[in-house]
Structure 1
């Protein structure tokens, strides 16, 4: 059975990119990172070189090196490794897609380009189709994130007829707050495809719409608890599921008041996991120490079981 036959579902951690003190990629952390996700958080799939991984601040060469290491170290441990290959440049995206195929990635994902923005769903689909053509047999996921890209095209419109253009289409990562659009996507896609929700603080709202799983940054350190949320929902225990979701909302609401971004999020992962992932790359600023201390204290008040 190949990755193309396995439906991507449940939790997928959007991984951080480890950096050294000098700001270079740090491959030595990736093996222990994967073990931590598997053993401590119960996460079996990863989404690498995405927003959380600071992909747009990485060179094409760095993204290739990281993708190779993630795929190699995850072999036999993770169910699936999805490599994000979206870039501002079509040629760079195609190069990364072809490389992902060569290294045996289980899937590729592409976000809309955000400088010269596609203004219609047809323009965006054409871009996605051209990227997928560089890895035609690799499962393909559309990465929908309008608040970040500024591409305000409905995901449902992007999916219209997409399997004719991209036969390897396997689903989408929907990182948007429009649940009507998300519901329309779920009702439209084929049964073998995955609708993965990407707003961690309102995952529970997406589950009744039919979300097959979730991709998110907080699952790096909250996977254990979100797995409990999924189990509670599946059992019909909405009281327990809401209790966990409300805790996540309380943590992230508190974090946003401190200026929650990739830098703050990465520092929280450093503190909770004990891994040394380094600082973010400019223009993202490091998390101030006082913010880190306050956020870690809040985390433990909510999620450390006595």
Structure 2
């Protein structure tokens, strides 16, 4: 992927499937990758929040990145999450991603120290000056405690054209709208993708580019269907699928972190996987599994 190529469409943040001992399950993860590509996704994002990167060592993250690129074999673009609390570690992981052949990296802002805007800018500037892969920003203030404002993003893109997009995981249309108007309006190559499922239709209608959301792991037909319908101007179908997709965010309230919920949903929909999650995440309780089943039934997924 060169810097002129737009990142767009439906890009699932792939769940990392583990064995019951907490090791990467290459066979099951490979089957998931094949399923997603067959479902006509537009790319794959590994080592995001749902990929449980925050609980992995650097060695484990590099193992997943290497496996992902090798297994996908260029069938779709591969993005690797390289965010960390350490600028040095982000650069190390990003350079590794380039070495193994990833198409781009996705960088969430540091999530422990609150940074002044000047220091946050210097963090991203140092990454951009050392990594010449396409870089997607990852804004998830609900977890990091710090928002990447549209003005801040614009300043970065003005100086670093290989900052090519953002995954905006905010539950407000206004933030996404402002990114589209301020950043994309000045830099048309810049991709704005929502991070919450039910903002896809709205993001597309505002002129955004797509979605990077967890439901892609177990119900890609909904987000892929909305994206294709919108591109074909079949608004009636897009709205119908959007109404089904509206149930999905209820899942994320069942437990925290919700990585266990995603894996249970995958299993309920026929994926033969271990639902092991890395501690301190824990297995989903039987009661919550029943609540999850009800949500999937309401979304017409069971």
| Same fold, TM-score > 0.5, yes or no | yes
Shift of residue 153 of structure 1? 4.3
1:59 aligns with 57
Q: Deviations over 1:115-163 (max 9, x none)?
A: 112232x32221112123332x200111111111100342x12223313
CA contact 2:173–2:199 (8 Å) conserved in 1: no
2:13 aligns with 14
CA contact 2:197–2:223 (8 Å) conserved in 1: no
2:46 aligns with 48
Aligned to 1:218, the other structure's residue is in SS state helix
Shift of residue 206 of structure 1? 1.7
1:37 aligns with 36
Task: Find the aligned partners of 2:222 and 2:148 in 1 and give their Cα distance.
Answer: 33
1:215 aligns with 212
Shift of residue 90 of structure 1? 1.3
Is 1:74 matched up with 2:78? no
1:126 aligns with 122
Shift of residue 196 of structure 1? 1.0
Task: Find the aligned partners of 1:76 and 1:153 in 2 and give their Cα distance.
Answer: 31
Runs of 5+ consecutive residues of structure 1 not aligned to the other structure: none
Aligned to 1:246, the other structure's residue is in SS state helix
1:241 aligns with 238
Shift of residue 86 of structure 1? 0.4
Shift of residue 274 of structure 1? 1.3
Aligned to 1:141, the other structure's residue is in SS state strand
Aligned to 1:82, the other structure's residue is in SS state strand
Shift of residue 287 of structure 1? 1.0
Map 1:1-306 → 2, pairs under 5 A: 2-39=1-38, 41-78=39-76, 80-120=77-117, 122-135=118-131, 137-154=132-149, 156-187=150-181, 188-189=183-184, 190-253=187-250, 255-256=251-252, 258-259=254-255, 261-300=258-297, 302-304=299-301
Aligned residues: 298
Task: Find the aligned partners of 1:65 and 1:303 in 2 and give their Cα distance.
Answer: 36
| TM-aligned CA distance change 1:11 to 1:249, over 3 Å | same
| TM-aligned CA distance change 1:159 to 1:22, over 3 Å | same
Q: Deviations over 1:206-238 (max 9, x none)?
A: 222111111111111221122222233334443
RMSD: 2.0
CA contact 1:112–1:149 (8 Å) conserved in 2: yes
Task: Find the aligned partners of 2:87 and 2:274 in 1 and give their Cα distance.
Answer: 30
